[in-house]
């Protein structure tokens, strides 16, 4: 089983455990909340029913006190009895207002309380009427009538209502107390279960954490062992690569020495062939037939082409091994130098060269970029269309680099060199950068077919890219992408190759 699979499974297990723990905690919180809410509701109900009982008792006592004071005054005609009577009346009004503000939780109880309030109000009004009659000194007959029509019926109704309401509220309060006791027991059980559950969760989490730490230590040990093995493997591969690099370095040095010696050794016979050919033509031209002179001319041309080919091949091989250190290079100055070198060719072809905008300044090998521009502009002039003036346009602009390119350098530039020459078929857009690749015969255009291959090696040494696009008879466009700053590619085995810009 791979480490990634193990890590994925561990994450899944921890996620499941987290969900279970969260669910249990949420359920416990829900139970605790409901229990507290239920207890609070019962407490509120108890307080409400207690207030109702208390307010009713107070009202009952006040009505009785008012009646007692009124009766004493009626029987004795003593004004001293009016003080408790008046005090009771004042209390009754306040108690009735307080009682109206309360709502009983028993459906039928509220109607009884309303009836009590109505009867109490009526009874108080009746008491006040009797007292007023006595104060106005009505006849004894009227007083006897008032005494005869006793308040027994109204008071009996009030007493019965007070008694019914009191009993109902006390029964309801007893039920609430029973519910409160039950809820307390349930709360105790709930909190006990929550405590036990939480303790078990803590223990389980500790066990899981201990097990996870143990497995993590095992994985770390395994990973450390794999790292050690990987280090050994890397060391072995590095040693192999060093040996390969040394072998490649020796091979490159031998190839370079061979190329140098071969070029010089091959150039010497060619120079002799050309020299003796010149002497043969100058001294024995009269003795040779027309066919002999033709053979001599072909021999000298072949020797000249061979000499040029060897020179170009040597130049191609030295792009990476004979380059200079990178330095700040103004491409405007490089282009100006190249145009100065091509002055004669430009005049002979009546070429028009337009430079759009200013070229950038980058870190580069000045001489190699001169060779790059020289090869591209020479080709644009050489491969021109008959009876049409050469027109070359050189542009420069910022380039939107890829992520890999941005890792090398922040700023990139794109240079385009477009001409109105003969062009080439699109399928040759990549092949033209291959050494010795020619699209035309030697009689049409001179050259060895190595110039664009040199251009590609120069651009690649600068960590850039070069490409071409064209159609037959519609000119060609060469695109060069270069970084503002970059490290030069070094050829393994070349101690003199530039390593850093």
| Token pair in block for residue 323 | 């380059």
| pLDDT above 70 (res 372) | yes
> What confidence category does residue 442 fall into, taking pLDDT thresholds of 50, 70 and 90?
low
* Alpha carbons 409 and 485: distance in angstroms, whole number: 6
**In the 8-state DSSP scheme, what is residue 320?**
T
pLDDT of residue 6: 59
pLDDT of residue 140: 47
| pLDDT above 90 (res 246) | no
Query: What is the three-state SS of 357-369?
Result: CCCCEEEECHHHH
Residue-wise pLDDT tens digits, 153-171? 666 776 777 777 778 777 8
More confident of the two residues 86 and 261: 86
- Structure-token match 């109105």, residue found: 420
> What confidence category does residue 239 fall into, taking pLDDT thresholds of 50, 70 and 90?
confident
With contact defined as beta carbons under 8 Å apart, do 461 and 317 qualify?
A: no
Which of the residue ranges 200-214, 232-246, 314-328 has the most confident prediction, judged by mean pLDDT?
232-246
Domain 3-213 architecture: Up-down Bundle (1.20)
* Alpha carbons 19 and 4: distance in angstroms, whole number: 23
| pLDDT above 90 (res 59) | no
Q: Residues 161-186: what's their mean pLDDT?
A: 78
User: Residue 90 class from Cβ within 10 Å (0-12 exposed, 13-18 middle, 19+ buried)?
Assistant: exposed
With contact defined as beta carbons under 8 Å apart, do 113 and 162 qualify?
A: no
pLDDT of residue 138: 52
CA 439 from centroid of its chain's CA atoms: 52
Q: What residue spans in the chain does CATH classification 1.20.120.1730 cover? A: 3-213
Q: Find out if CATH 3.90.660.10 is the number for domain 325-483.
A: no
Among the residue ranges 92-106, 204-218, 252-266, 317-331, the one predicted with the least confidence is 252-266
| pLDDT above 80 (res 282) | yes
Residues across the chain: 501
| pLDDT above 70 (res 339) | yes
The Cβ of residue 375 has, within 10 Å, a number of other Cβ atoms equal to: 19
More confident of the two residues 56 and 495: 56
pLDDT of residue 316: 61
> What Å distances lie between residue 338 and 141, 365, 377, CA to CA?
148, 15, 9
CA 119 from centroid of its chain's CA atoms: 77
For residue 330, list its beta bridge partners: 361
Which of the residue ranges 62-71, 316-325, 456-465 has the most confident prediction, judged by mean pLDDT?
456-465
What lies within 8 Å, CB to CB, of 53 at 6+ separation is 166, 169, 170, 173
Among the residue ranges 26-30, 219-223, 417-421, the one predicted with the least confidence is 26-30
pLDDT of residue 141: 42
Q: Residues 123-130: what's their mean pLDDT?
A: 76
| pLDDT above 90 (res 385) | no
| pLDDT above 60 (res 29) | yes
| Token pair in block for residue 235 | 């060391």
Q: What residue spans in the chain does CATH classification 3.30.565.10 cover? A: 325-483
Share of the chain above pLDDT 90, in %: 8
Query: What is the three-state SS of 6-29?
Result: HHHHHHHHHHHHHHHHHHHHHHHH
**In the 8-state DSSP scheme, what is residue 342?**
T
pLDDT of residue 498: 39
> What Å distances lie between residue 308 and 29, 296, 301, 338, CA to CA?
93, 18, 11, 21
pLDDT of residue 418: 92
More confident of the two residues 489 and 306: 306
Share of the chain above pLDDT 70, in %: 80
pLDDT of residue 446: 57
* Alpha carbons 470 and 475: distance in angstroms, whole number: 6
The Cβ of residue 320 has, within 10 Å, a number of other Cβ atoms equal to: 20
pLDDT of residue 9: 67
H-helix or E-strand spanning residue 223: helix 152-284
What lies within 8 Å, CB to CB, of 276 at 6+ separation is none
| Token pair in block for residue 285 | 């031209």
- Structure-token match 């950068």, residue found: 433
The Cβ of residue 436 has, within 10 Å, a number of other Cβ atoms equal to: 12
* Alpha carbons 323 and 491: distance in angstroms, whole number: 10
What lies within 8 Å, CB to CB, of 122 at 6+ separation is 154
- Residue 311: name the closest of 368, 373, 263 by CA: 263
Among the residue ranges 231-235, 474-478, 494-498, the one predicted with the least confidence is 494-498
């Amino acid at each position: 089983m791979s480490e990634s699979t193990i890590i994925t499974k561990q994450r899944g297990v921890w996620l499941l455990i987290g969900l279970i723990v969260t669910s249990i905690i949420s359920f416990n919180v829900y139970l605790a909340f409901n229990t507290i809410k239920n207890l609070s509701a019962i407490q509120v109900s108890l307080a409400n029913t207690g207030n109702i009982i208390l307010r009713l008792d107070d009202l009952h006592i006040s009505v009785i006190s008012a009646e007692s004071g009124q009766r004493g005054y009626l029987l004795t005609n003593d004004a001293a009895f009016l003080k408790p009577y008046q005090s009771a009346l004042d209390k009754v009004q306040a108690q009735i207002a307080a009682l109206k503000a309360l709502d009983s939780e028993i459906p039928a109880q509220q109607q009884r309380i309303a009836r009590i309030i109505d009867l109490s109000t009526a009874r108080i009004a009746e008491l006040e009427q009797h007292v007023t009659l006595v104060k106005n000194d009505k006849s004894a007959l009227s007083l006897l009538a008032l005494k005869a029509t006793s308040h027994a019926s109204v008071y009996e109704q009030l007493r019965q209502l007070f008694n019914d309401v009191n009993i109902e509220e006390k029964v309801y309060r007893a039920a609430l107390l029973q519910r409160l006791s039950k809820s307390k027991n349930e709360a105790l059980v709930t909190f006990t279960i929550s405590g036990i559950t939480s303790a078990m969760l803590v223990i389980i989490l500790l066990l899981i954490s201990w097990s996870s730490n143990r497995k993590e230590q095992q994985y770390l040990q395994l990973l450390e062992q794999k790292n050690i093995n990987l280090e050994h493997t890397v060391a072995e591969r590095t040693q192999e690569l060093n040996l390969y690099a040394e072998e490649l370095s020796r091979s490159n040095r031998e190839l370079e020495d061979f190329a140098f010696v071969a070029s010089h050794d091959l150039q010497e016979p060619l120079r002799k062939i050309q020299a003796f050919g010149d002497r043969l033509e100058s001294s024995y031209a009269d003795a040779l037939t027309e066919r002999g002179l033709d053979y001599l001319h072909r021999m000298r041309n072949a020797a000249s082409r061979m000499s040029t080919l060897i020179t170009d091949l040597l130049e191609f091989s030295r792009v990476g091994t004979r380059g200079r250190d990178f330095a700040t290079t103004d491409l405007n100055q490089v282009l100006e130098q190249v145009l100065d070198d091509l002055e004669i060719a430009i005049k002979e072809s009546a070429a028009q060269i337009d430079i759009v905008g200013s070229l950038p300044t980058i870190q580069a090998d000045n001489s190699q970029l001169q060779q790059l521009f020289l090869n591209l502009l020479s080709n644009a002039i050489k491969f021109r269309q008959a009876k049409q003036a050469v027109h070359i346009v050189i542009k420069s602009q910022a380039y939107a680099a890829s992520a890999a390119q941005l890792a090398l350098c922040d700023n990139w530039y794109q240079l385009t060199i477009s001409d109105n020459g003969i062009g080439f078929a699109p399928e040759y857009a990549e092949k033209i950068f291959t050494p010795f690749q020619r699209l035309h015969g030697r009689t049409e255009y001179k050259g060895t077919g190595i110039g664009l291959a040199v251009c590609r090696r120069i651009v690649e040494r600068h960590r850039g890219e070069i490409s071409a696009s064209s159609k037959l008879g519609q000119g060609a466009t060469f695109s060069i992408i270069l970084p503002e700053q970059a490290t030069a590619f070094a050829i393994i085995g070349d101690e003199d190759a530039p390593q850093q810009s």
